[in-house]
Amino acid sequence: MNVDTGLTAMKADPHFLWLGAGVGGVLVVASIIGAVLAATVTTEKGKGTVANLNARTRAWWIMVLVFGGALMGGRMTVVVLFGLLSWLGLREFLTLTPTRRGDHRALFWAFFVITPAQYYFVGVEWYGMFSIFVPVWAFLFLPVRAAMAGDCDHFLERASKTQWGLMACVYCLSYAPALLSLPIAGYEGHNAKLLVFLVAITQMSDVLQYVWGKSIGRHKVAPKVSPGKTWEGLIGGVLTASALGASLWWATPFKPWQAGLIALAITIAGFFGGLVMSAIKRDRGVKDYGVLIEGHGGVMDRMDSLVFAAPVFFHIVRFWWT
Amino acid sequence: MLSKYLIIGLVRTLTGVRARWREGAEPSLAQRIYFANHTSNLDAVVIWASLPTELRRKTRPVAAHDYWTKGIVRPYLAKHVFNVVLIERKNVTVKNNPLTPMLAALDAGSSLIIFPEGGRMAGGGLGEFKSGIHHLATKRPGVELVPVWIDNVNRVLPKGEFLPVPMLGSVTIGAPMTLLAEETKDGFLTRARTALAELGGIES
């Protein structure tokens, strides 16, 4: 596909202005609410919640600026940004996962060869390769490297953990920048809006689930895995995020009802992603994957829903729209 | 100068490490001996890189002469980047007593990073302390001794490996201690070792 991406394309398309204004508006409102709450809440517990809320909002500003900046830089900048996020995510994931001396060389390959290669294939728009590289080639190669090191203890567990980390943090996440390469008839040069749609819906779904859960949440969905998640939060968040998706149809190649249904699929996949990644954290006895993003935790704490939603969204669009 | 920041950047990229100061421990320009558990060749570099700039400037890792004088890269790094205090590990005689260069560095006003177990431990445990730390505490009683627990850095560069992989590690710094009046050598070594083990949350 040889179409302008980045700032040139964005300037020519007023939709970006509206999307940008929408995101900026939400953040301004969130910052104002945060400031008002900080000035009015008096209980100790309330103060803690508000401080965390404001830290999250500040981090949101930074994340939105970084993501927006990458979009302006064009497709390659977006690929590089997601490549870095995958790398940092894999670092968090494998830190939590006990590996042994015999895995060292395999891990070196995972970080310095397989991750860059996956994003290289996304970068050169080689669908036939990037869509099978980790599930086929890395899957076959990495255990061989670990076996050659000669340590057979817990071999299957160790091989599975490395593969799982690569699948979640690298392979699944790389579907997000790959959206920019989908050839959709009549939508050429507009693909960046698909990525904005995906990221906005997954992230807003997380935020809305949190807001609904904090306000009316009573019944826990999976108290052992994720004590913060409630049915009220889940249903309220999923429905409002899907409605938001439907209302953004004008920026996508979808009709409003299609945009709503796809947003529903994205939010449910995102919820599952959060649940599964939480189960891994509980198994390892930690609350967060890291400390990189103030108020949110690590990169994987923020990306968990996107990891599951990106491939689902990509294949829905690829199957029915290309 | 440039290579210094490159190394610090590289270490932070690989380990994400930032010094965590425990309650009672604060960054201070007072002269100190940081003593740490030892599991990886990167340990000294990681502690050094995680210190605030002002403190890092006056802090020198103490390391084995035989390791840091091999090849071309290591001697360059030892001299121009980390300003390592090189000590003899293998042929200890009266002439090359490992304490002499450490005391000289302390007298020149530097702080030191030492590994009182005397070598890298396999597994996550903490070995017995050698007596060197006690000699330093006796001979320079004005210097604060600060326990430092390093976690997970051995997975970045395990013993015998050459290429590092990224793994999040941590450096936890505890409250300073000094030799008490009339404390025995064994009493002091046990107390220092217990302080470090507590910092790491392991049985001493």
CB-based burial label for A241 (10 Å; 0-12, 13-18, 19+): buried
The band of A46, judged by pLDDT with boundaries at 50, 70 and 90, is confident
Token output for B172: 């936890």
Q: Does B10 touch chain A (CB under 8 A)?
A: no
For A152, residues 6+ apart whose C-beta sits below 8 A from its C-beta are none
The reported pLDDT for the residue numbered A135 is 97
A136 vs A117: CA distance, rounded Å: 14
Q: Does B167 touch chain A (CB under 8 A)?
A: yes
Task: Please count the other Cβ atoms lying within 10 Å of the Cβ belonging to residue B203.
Answer: 8
Per CB-CB distance under 8 Å, the chain B contacts of A101 are 158
Q: Find the length of chain A.
A: 322
The reported pLDDT for the residue numbered A4 is 61
Interchain proximity A104–B166, CB inside 8 Å? no
Interchain proximity A91–B161, CB inside 8 Å? no
Q: With a cut of 70, say whether residue A53 has pLDDT above it.
A: yes
Q: Which residue has the higher pLDDT, B89 or A241?
A: A241
Q: What is the mean pLDDT of residues A289-299?
A: 81
The band of A127, judged by pLDDT with boundaries at 50, 70 and 90, is very high
- Residue B154's closest chain A neighbor by CA? A101
Interchain proximity B152–A95, CB inside 8 Å? yes
Q: Which residue has the higher pLDDT, A99 or A316?
A: A316
For testing the chain A interface, which of B14, B17, B156, B165 should be mutated: the one with the most A CBs within 10 Å?
A: B165
CB-based burial label for A62 (10 Å; 0-12, 13-18, 19+): exposed
Say what angle helices A256-284 and A299-321 make with each other, to 10 degrees.
140
The reported pLDDT for the residue numbered A286 is 82
State percent of chain B over pLDDT 90: 39
Q: Does B165 touch chain A (CB under 8 A)?
A: yes
Instruction: Return phi, psi of residue B64, to 5°.
Output: -70, 130
Distance from the Cα of A300 to chain B's closest Cα (Å) equals 13
B144 forms beta bridges with B32
Per CB-CB distance under 8 Å, the chain B contacts of A108 are 163-165
- Residue A109's closest chain B neighbor by CA? B165
Per CB-CB distance under 8 Å, the chain A contacts of B166 are 87, 90-91, 111
Q: What is the mean pLDDT of residues B136-145?
A: 92
Phi-psi region of B143 (alpha: psi -120 to 50; beta: other; left: phi over 0): beta
Q: What is the mean pLDDT of residues B44-60?
A: 91
The reported pLDDT for the residue numbered B29 is 87
Task: Please count the other Cβ atoms lying within 10 Å of the Cβ belonging to residue B118.
Answer: 18
Pairing relation of β-strands B170-173 and B144-151? Answer: antiparallel
Interchain proximity A99–B155, CB inside 8 Å? yes
- Residue B16's closest chain A neighbor by CA? A292
Q: Could you say which of B16, B161, B168 has the minimum Cβ distance to residue A104?
A: B161
Interchain proximity B167–A91, CB inside 8 Å? yes
pLDDT in tens, A128-166: 999 999 999 999 999 998 888 888 888 999 899 999 999
Distance from the Cα of A237 to chain B's closest Cα (Å) equals 33
pTM of the model as a whole: 0.87
Distance from the Cα of B100 to chain A's closest Cα (Å) equals 37
Q: Does B155 touch chain A (CB under 8 A)?
A: yes
Q: With a cut of 70, say whether residue B203 has pLDDT above it.
A: yes
Interchain proximity B158–A101, CB inside 8 Å? yes
Q: With a cut of 60, say whether residue A1 has pLDDT above it.
A: no
The letter for the amino acid at A220 is: K
Distance from the Cα of A58 to chain B's closest Cα (Å) equals 21
Q: Which residue has the higher pLDDT, A90 or A1?
A: A90
Q: Does B161 touch chain A (CB under 8 A)?
A: yes
Lowest mean pLDDT among A191-200, A237-246, A287-296, B39-48: A287-296
The reported pLDDT for the residue numbered A163 is 94
Interchain proximity B168–A99, CB inside 8 Å? no
Interchain proximity B168–A92, CB inside 8 Å? yes
For A191, residues 6+ apart whose C-beta sits below 8 A from its C-beta are A5, A179, A180, A181, A182, A184
Per CB-CB distance under 8 Å, the chain A contacts of B165 are 104, 107-108, 111
Distance from the Cα of A108 to chain B's closest Cα (Å) equals 5
Interchain proximity A111–B152, CB inside 8 Å? no
Per CB-CB distance under 8 Å, the chain B contacts of A94 are 167
Mean pLDDT of chain B: 88
pLDDT in tens, B9-25: 999 889 988 788 988 88
The reported pLDDT for the residue numbered A2 is 47
Interchain proximity A290–B168, CB inside 8 Å? yes
| Helical spans, DSSP H, in B16-166 | 43-50, 53-57, 65-68, 73-76, 99-107, 132-139
Q: With a cut of 80, say whether residue B94 has pLDDT above it.
A: no
Q: What is the mean pLDDT of residues A104-131?
A: 95
Interchain proximity B152–A91, CB inside 8 Å? no
Q: Could you say which of B158, B163, B166 has the minimum Cβ distance to residue A91?
A: B166
Residues of A with CB under 8 A from a CB of B: 87, 90-92, 94-95, 99, 101, 104-105, 107-108, 111, 290, 292
Say how many CB pairs under 8 Å bridge A and B.
27
Q: Quote ipTM for the complex.
A: 0.79
Q: With a cut of 80, say whether residue B1 has pLDDT above it.
A: no
The reported pLDDT for the residue numbered B204 is 62
In angstroms and rounded to an integer, the radius of gyration of the C-alpha atoms of chain A is 20
Q: With a cut of 50, say whether residue A263 has pLDDT above it.
A: yes
Distance from the Cα of B196 to chain A's closest Cα (Å) equals 23
